[in-house]
Amino acid sequence: MPIFNPMLSVIIPCFNQGHFLGDAIRSAYALEYSNLEIILIDDGSTDITREIGLQHKNVQYYYQENKGLAAARNLGITKAKGDFVSFLDADDWYLPEGLITNLEVINKHDDIGFISGCHIIRYEDGHEFRYCIDYIEKDHYRHFLEGNYIGNPSAVIYRKSLLDQYPFDTSREIIGCEDYDQYLKISKANKVLHNPIPISVYRRHSNNMSNNHAMMLNSVLNVLNRQKALISSDNEMKALYNGILHWMNHYDYLPFTGNGIKAFQRYHWELIKKYNFRLPEMLIRKYRKKFNVKNK
d(Cα 224, Cα 145) in Å, to the nearest integer?
7
Largest Cα–Cα distance of the chain, in whole Å?
74
How sure is the predictor about 264, in pLDDT bands with cuts at 50, 70 and 90?
very low
Q: Where are the domains of the chain?
A: 8-208, 212-290
Interval 122-158: pLDDT, tens: 887 777 777 777 778 899 999 999 999 998 999 999 9
Count Cβ atoms below 10 Å from residue 272 Cβ, excluding itself: 14
DSSP 135: P
Distance of alpha carbon 220 from alpha carbon 245, whole angstroms? 11
> Of residues 277 and 184, which shows the higher confidence score?
184
Average predicted confidence (pLDDT) for the chain: 87
What is the rounded average pLDDT of the residues 73-99? 97
User: For the residues 279-289, what does the mean pLDDT come to?
Assistant: 64
For residue 83, name the pLDDT band (cuts at 50, 70, 90): very high
Domain with residues 8-208, CATH architecture: Alpha-Beta Complex (3.90)
* pLDDT mean over 158-187: 95
- Does residue 206 surpass a pLDDT of 90? no
Please say whether the beta carbons of 214 and 136 come within 8 A. Answer: no
Higher pLDDT, 116 or 283: 116
Question: pTM above the 0.75 mark?
Answer: yes
64 pLDDT higher than 80: yes
Asked whether the predicted pLDDT for residue 2 surpasses 50, the reply is no
